[in-house]
């Protein structure tokens, strides 16, 4: 009966789900040793049926080899049950947890149990097929779920997530494929084949893929918290604060090594260990630090020129112009070079996909993406589908008007600030000592507070609107959010400068304004980012001690364990105490806030440095000094202050790339205008020049610089030669394989025809 299943691939799959991968490995090694030694020979004697059966189903040889060995069909069933037993016995009671879910102390028991059951249920029943250990907290304490998975579950998940690993013979990265897993590097010990970051990603995906079915209309115990079919369950738990937090655990040892290499303050001038960061924190964070480093290095030439200009001031119409033109071309070179560098790194990490539209289709939709259940148009897998026109309509009819209103409010606040300052200077009584100072500072203070409040309101609105737009992919969700944030910060930070430079046309004010804002923002930023984390670390150390004390207490009361055991024995597995301790400690740490705020900070700095560079050449030097500290303080934050984040994939800095490019473009206009407006420059040009021609000269210069920028951007290919060659080679191989595959498919179809023919031919031959 089971012999009928002849499809090579199908059977390999069946064996995979049925026996553990470790067992398959054992069979394979014994086979390679040729069953020659006495020890393996006896092992072979013991289970030759089983081995043979496995090998047959794997397509290693024809099923007919087994036929003479099977006296009666029942043997097959025996075999099957035996194989099953082997599979069962290999399960371990203790497991390593990778992800922690903290429940609110007040959460209902029903909701907790329902989610736990879902996490443990087989995937065919809509579960995640994970291992879960529940640690019920005492009164007023949160219940904690420790989530892990068998190696098999992790490997299958890794294959589905299309994680790329190094292939033997050359080490090129390929999508992990379980059927030839032993052709990948480092598969001798499957337990450590996947990094902890990869395991955590697989588990996160598994948890997020638990979606409500048609019958499940609300979270058990919470009739008001409705669930919609096809929508991720865990996101509802998180948004309703039933699960207060979900985070993966740090790896103490690796983290220690990384910290020593990376965020010690005596390592200012050494390169960052980007590959290690990528392995530990994932591609997205690694790209952020890589970009930060790249950008910092790129600041060195303008900073050098800035120093020279500062030390040796001379007057020439070319002085400012040369610096401005250098900066304008330099931004383009920097951004193009970064694109190449980033693509090369992503290729090495196996996250650079060839074609955009394919990788977009293969990317899983966001966990809280909703829509009616349908199928992916490319892969045919089921996934929620949301009509595009609805998203577009929401964007243009809701988002655009609301954002416009917000921006207008911010702009009006700015105008109000300048008006108030102007009014006070003119009309208010002077010579009142301290009161005068206060009076003069009043508009600035009010404006600063107003901006802070507006900023918070705006961010909330932006996040809500972005969620409301219901983007399918995490990447497009983030890009839209980034654009919203940038727009506001642009108004916030740069419009003032534009106002001073081009409306008030006050060069001196612009210079002091720019210098003050840049230096103030950087000092405030450094305090926020280096001092506050230090304080947090101190606080955490105290908490650590308290927690350790508490943990010791609960250990003393170890006699209560049976009660706990009883609670957890219901299908759940056990977890070592060391993990429990670690989870308790990391639960106290801050949630990782992602990189977008850091990018935004750099973005504003980039604007300050390049938009008005001809006015304030020292800006690059200030930025450079700031960023040298920034790298290490950000590293410290990620290693010591934040909980470990789930790794995220990325193959570029996303919407930040065009955002930086737009600053580059705008800076051409601003710098040309600034130089044109400079009275020094005006003096140096021939006086018979009419004002109109004077303007036209600068307009022409602007167009030439823009043309040079465009040419540079077009001439620099986004991919280094060797990367595009490698990618083409891989694509070529895929094409050739497709062709081969088609032949094999055709041959299989013909086989049915052949069978009849074969019998006939043999008859005719023998007769």
Q: Is 32 in the site for a copy of itself (CB under 8 A)?
A: yes
Cβ closer to a copy of itself: 625 or 699?
699
3-state class percentages of the chain: helix first, strand second, coil last, to nearest 5: 70, 5, 25
Asked whether 418 and 501 are in contact (CB, 8 A), the reply is no
Per CB under 8 A, which region of 26-34, 83-91, 306-314, 622-630 contacts a copy of itself? 26-34
- Containing H/E element for 256? helix 252-262
- Containing H/E element for 243? strand 243-248
Asked whether 646 and 200 are in contact (CB, 8 A), the reply is yes
What CA–CA distance (Å, rounded) separates 451 from 410? Answer: 8
Asked whether 283 and 653 are in contact (CB, 8 A), the reply is no
What part of residues 261-300 is at the interface with a copy of itself (CB under 8 A)?
Answer: none
Q: Is 354 in the site for a copy of itself (CB under 8 A)?
A: yes
Asked whether 101 and 144 are in contact (CB, 8 A), the reply is yes
Q: What are phi and psi of 226, to 5 degrees?
A: -75, 150
Minimum distance of a copy of itself from residue 2's CB (angstroms) = 19
Binding mask 645-674 for a copy of itself (x = CB under 8 A): ------------------------x-----
Residue with tokens 């043999």: 762
Asked whether 207 and 99 are in contact (CB, 8 A), the reply is yes
What CA–CA distance (Å, rounded) separates 244 from 526? Answer: 30
What part of residues 41-70 is at the interface with a copy of itself (CB under 8 A)?
Answer: 45, 48, 52, 55, 58-61, 65, 68-69
What are the tokens at 449?
């507070």
Over the Cα atoms of the chain, what is R_g?
32
What CA–CA distance (Å, rounded) separates 142 from 102? Answer: 6
Provide CB contacts within 8 A for 76, sequence distance 6+. Answer: 1, 2, 3, 70
Cβ closer to a copy of itself: 183 or 260?
183
Asked whether 278 and 289 are in contact (CB, 8 A), the reply is no
| Among the listed residues 64, 81, 355, 559, the single contact to a copy of itself using CB under 8 A | 355
Provide CB contacts within 8 A for 178, sequence distance 6+. Answer: 16, 21, 155, 156, 159
What are the tokens at 329?
């071309």
Binding mask 365-404 for a copy of itself (x = CB under 8 A): ------------xxx-------------------------
Q: Is 685 in the site for a copy of itself (CB under 8 A)?
A: no
* Total of chain residues touching a copy of itself, rule CB under 8 A: 76
Cβ closer to a copy of itself: 563 or 692?
692
| Among the listed residues 317, 699, 708, 716, the single contact to a copy of itself using CB under 8 A | 699
Binding mask 67-86 for a copy of itself (x = CB under 8 A): -xx-----------------
Asked whether 296 and 624 are in contact (CB, 8 A), the reply is yes
Cβ closer to a copy of itself: 21 or 119?
21
Minimum distance of a copy of itself from residue 673's CB (angstroms) = 9
Cβ closer to a copy of itself: 177 or 316?
177
What part of residues 165-184 is at the interface with a copy of itself (CB under 8 A)?
Answer: 175, 177, 179-180, 183
Minimum distance of a copy of itself from residue 547's CB (angstroms) = 47
Q: Is 361 in the site for a copy of itself (CB under 8 A)?
A: yes
Minimum distance of a copy of itself from residue 723's CB (angstroms) = 9
Cβ closer to a copy of itself: 594 or 676?
676
Q: Is 535 in the site for a copy of itself (CB under 8 A)?
A: no
Three-state SS letters, 375-442: ECCCCCCEEEECCHHHHHHHHHHHHHHHHHHHHHHHHHHHHHHHHHHHHHHHHCCCCCCHHHHHHHHH
Q: Is 7 in the site for a copy of itself (CB under 8 A)?
A: no
Residues in the chain: 767
Minimum distance of a copy of itself from residue 168's CB (angstroms) = 11
| Among the listed residues 37, 260, 703, 711, the single contact to a copy of itself using CB under 8 A | 703
| Among the listed residues 89, 578, 764, 767, the single contact to a copy of itself using CB under 8 A | 764
Q: Is 31 in the site for a copy of itself (CB under 8 A)?
A: yes
> Would the CA dihedral through 459, 463, 466, 468 be positive or negative?
negative
Q: Is 744 in the site for a copy of itself (CB under 8 A)?
A: yes
| Among the listed residues 2, 3, 12, 547, the single contact to a copy of itself using CB under 8 A | 12
What CA–CA distance (Å, rounded) separates 567 from 544? Answer: 28
* DSSP-assigned letters across all residues of 468-536: HT--SSHHHHHHHHHHHHHHHHIIIIIHHHHIIIIII--HHHHHHHHHHHHHHHHHHHHIIIIIHHHHH
Per CB under 8 A, which region of 88-96, 189-197, 268-276, 746-754 contacts a copy of itself? 746-754
Q: What SS3 class is residue 368?
A: coil
| Among the listed residues 8, 450, 537, 547, the single contact to a copy of itself using CB under 8 A | 8
Cβ closer to a copy of itself: 457 or 762?
762
Per CB under 8 A, which region of 208-216, 462-470, 489-497, 747-755 contacts a copy of itself? 747-755
Asked whether 572 and 120 are in contact (CB, 8 A), the reply is yes
Cβ closer to a copy of itself: 47 or 454?
47
| Among the listed residues 4, 426, 556, 739, the single contact to a copy of itself using CB under 8 A | 739
Minimum distance of a copy of itself from residue 633's CB (angstroms) = 36
Minimum distance of a copy of itself from residue 513's CB (angstroms) = 23
Per CB under 8 A, which region of 6-14, 399-407, 480-488, 535-543 contacts a copy of itself? 6-14
| Among the listed residues 1, 4, 34, 106, the single contact to a copy of itself using CB under 8 A | 34
Q: Shortest CA distance to 330 belongs to which of 609, 519, 518?
A: 609
Question: How far from chain centre, in Å, is Cα 236?
Answer: 21
Q: Shortest CA distance to 607 belongs to which of 764, 466, 494?
A: 494
Cβ closer to a copy of itself: 457 or 744?
744
């Amino acid at each position: 009966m089971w012999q009928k299943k002849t499809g090579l691939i199908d059977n390999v799959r069946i064996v995979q789900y049925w026996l553990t991968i470790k067992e398959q490995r054992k069979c394979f090694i014994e086979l390679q040793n040729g069953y020659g030694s006495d020890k393996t020979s006896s092992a072979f004697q013991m289970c030759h049926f089983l081995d043979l059966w496995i090998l047959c189903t794997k397509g290693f040889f024809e099923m007919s080899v087994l036929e003479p060995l099977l006296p009666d069909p029942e043997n097959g069933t025996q075999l099957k049950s035996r194989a099953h037993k082997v599979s069962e016995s290999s399960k371990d009671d203790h497991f390593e947890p990778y992800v922690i879910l903290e429940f609110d102390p007040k959460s209902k028991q029903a909701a907790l149990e329902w989610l736990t059951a879902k996490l443990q249920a087989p995937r065919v029943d809509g579960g995640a097929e994970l291992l879960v250990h529940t640690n019920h907290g005492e009164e007023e304490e949160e219940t904690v779920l420790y989530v892990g998975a068998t190696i098999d579950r992790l490997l299958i998940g890794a294959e589905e997530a299309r994680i790329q690993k190094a292939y033997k013979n050359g080490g090129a990265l390929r999508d992990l494929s379980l059927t030839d897993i032993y052709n990948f590097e480092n598969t001798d010990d499957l337990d450590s084949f996947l990094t902890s970051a990869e395991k955590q990603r697989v588990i996160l995906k598994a948890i997020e893929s638990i979606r409500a079915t048609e019958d499940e209309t609300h979270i058990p115990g919470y009739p008001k918290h409705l669930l919609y079919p096809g929508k991720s369950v865990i996101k509802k738990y998180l948004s309703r604060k039933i699960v207060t937090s979900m985070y993966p655990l740090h790896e103490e040892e690796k983290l220690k090594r990384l910290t020593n290499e990376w965020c010690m303050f005596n390592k200012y001038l050494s390169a960052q260990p980007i590959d290690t960061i990528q392995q530990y924190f994932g591609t997205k964070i690694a790209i952020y630090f890589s970009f930060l480093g790249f950008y910092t290095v790129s600041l060195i030439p303008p900073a050098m020129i800035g120093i020279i200009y500062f030390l040796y001031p001379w007057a020439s119409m070319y002085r400012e112009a040369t610096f401005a033109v250098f900066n304008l071309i330099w931004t383009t070179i920097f951004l193009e070079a970064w694109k190449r560098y980033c693509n090369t790194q992503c290729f090495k990490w196996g996250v650079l996909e060839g074609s955009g539209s394919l990788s977009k289709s293969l990317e899983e939709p966001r966990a809280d993406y909703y829509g009616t259940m349908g199928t992916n148009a490319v892969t045919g897998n089921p996934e929620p589908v949301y009509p595009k026109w609805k998203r577009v309509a929401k964007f243009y009819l809701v988002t655009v008007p609301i954002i416009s209103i917000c921006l207008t409010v911010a702009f009006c606040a700015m105008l109000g600030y300048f008006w108030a300052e102007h009014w006070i200077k003119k009309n208010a009584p002077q010579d009142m000592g301290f009161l005068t100072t206060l009076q003069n500072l009043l508009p600035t203070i009010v404006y600063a507070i107003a901006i802070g409040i507006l900023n918070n309101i705006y961010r909330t609105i932006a996040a809500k609107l972005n969620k409301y737009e219901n983007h399918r992919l995490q990447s497009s969700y983030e890009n839209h959010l980034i654009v919203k944030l940038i727009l506001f910060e642009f108004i916030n930070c740069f419009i003032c400068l534009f106002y001073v430079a081009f409306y008030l046309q006050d060069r001196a004010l612009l210079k002091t304004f720019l210098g003050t804002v840049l230096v103030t923002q950087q000092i405030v930023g450094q305090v926020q980012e280096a001092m506050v984390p230090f304080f947090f670390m101190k606080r955490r150390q105290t908490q650590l001690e308290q927690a350790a004390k508490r943990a010791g207490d609960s250990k003393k009361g170890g006699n209560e364990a049976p009660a706990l055991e009883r609670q957890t024995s219901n299908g759940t597995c056990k977890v070592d105490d060391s993990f429990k301790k670690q989870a308790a400690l990391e639960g106290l740490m801050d949630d990782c806030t992602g990189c977008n705020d850091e990018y935004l900070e750099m973005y504003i700095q980039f604007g300050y440095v390049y938009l008005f560079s001809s006015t304030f050449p020292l800006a690059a030097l200030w930025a450079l000094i700031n960023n040298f500290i920034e790298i290490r303080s950000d590293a410290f934050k990620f290693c010591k202050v934040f909980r470990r984040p789930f790794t995220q994939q990325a193959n570029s800095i996303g919407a930040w790339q065009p955002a930086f490019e737009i600053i580059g473009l705008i800076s051409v206009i601003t710098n040309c205008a600034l130089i044109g407006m400079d009275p020094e420059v005006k003096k140096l040009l021939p006086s018979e020049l009419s004002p109109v021609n004077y303007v036209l000269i600068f307009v022409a210069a602007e167009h030439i610089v823009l043309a040079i920028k465009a040419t540079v951007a077009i001439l620099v290919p986004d991919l280094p030669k060797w990367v595009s060659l490698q990618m083409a080679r891989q694509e070529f191989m895929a094409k050739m394989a497709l062709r081969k595959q088609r032949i094999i498919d055709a041959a299989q179809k013909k086989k049915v025809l052949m069978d009849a023919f074969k019998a006939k031919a043999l008859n005719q031959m023998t007769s």
